[in-house]
Amino acid sequence: MQKAISRALGRALSGEGAHVEAQDVVAGLDWKSAGIAPPGAPHTVFQLVNHLIYWQDWVVRWLDGRDPPLPDAASESWPGRAAPRNAAEWRTAVRRFRRGLDVLTRRSGAADLFDTGNGKSPLEMLQTIASHNSYHIGQIAVVRRMIGKWPPPSGGLTW
């Protein structure tokens, strides 16, 4: 049973079967476009990616047993500026986001998913971060559409 749940968590983290692959949602987007805030959008792609990184890193620390503190305000989980300063800063954010996805996917296959020693089980935390990521990946897709930068090179559902 744990193997089936691990597989399902991996699919949820990747977006497989639900939407464009999570790691691909930022592919092919240049650094200047990542910082565009179209009218009506509350965040840029860069802000969304940094928010995803923040919570992915938080969950990894939790899985490591480090008991990371929750932010005092939601705004603290939206670090950084609206736009990257340059292409290198954008590439770094993309790498961190993808690396976080990889770590979480590996953890979904390696952890005792039912251990409740930290109050919640790894299964609960991984499901929560998968849902959180999926929500914001949808926002990234919408912002990319609004700025005329959709779909990514891998394609994407456009219907």
Task: Look up the pTM and report it.
Answer: 0.93
- Measured CA to CA in angstroms, residue 20 lies from 24, 90, 147, 156, 157 at distances of 7, 20, 18, 5, 7
- Is the CATH number of domain 2-146 1.10.3210.10? no
- Kindly tell me the burial class for residue 100, based on how many C-beta atoms sit within 10 Å of its own C-beta (0-12, 13-18, 19 or more): buried
Query: Which helix (H) or strand (E) segment is 120 a member of?
Result: none
> Given a cut of 80, is residue 99 above it in pLDDT?
yes
Reported as a single tens digit per residue, the pLDDT across 38-60 is 999 999 999 999 999 999 999 99
Residue (of 135, 131, 111) closest to 123 by Cα position:
111
Task: State the Cα angle at 59 between 96 and 82, rounded to 5°.
Answer: 45
Residue 46's CB is within 10 A of a number of other CB atoms, namely: 27
Residue extents of the structural domains in the chain? 2-146
Tell me the C-alpha distance between 140 and 159, whole Å. Answer: 16
> Given a cut of 60, is residue 159 above it in pLDDT?
no
Structure tokens at 30: 């240049």
- pLDDT over 90, % of the chain: 66
Tell me the C-alpha distance between 67 and 58, whole Å. Answer: 9
Among the residues of 30-146, which ranges form H helices? 31-34, 45-63, 87-110, 122-146
Q: What is the mean pLDDT of the chain?
A: 91
* Residue 48 vs residue 159, higher pLDDT: 48
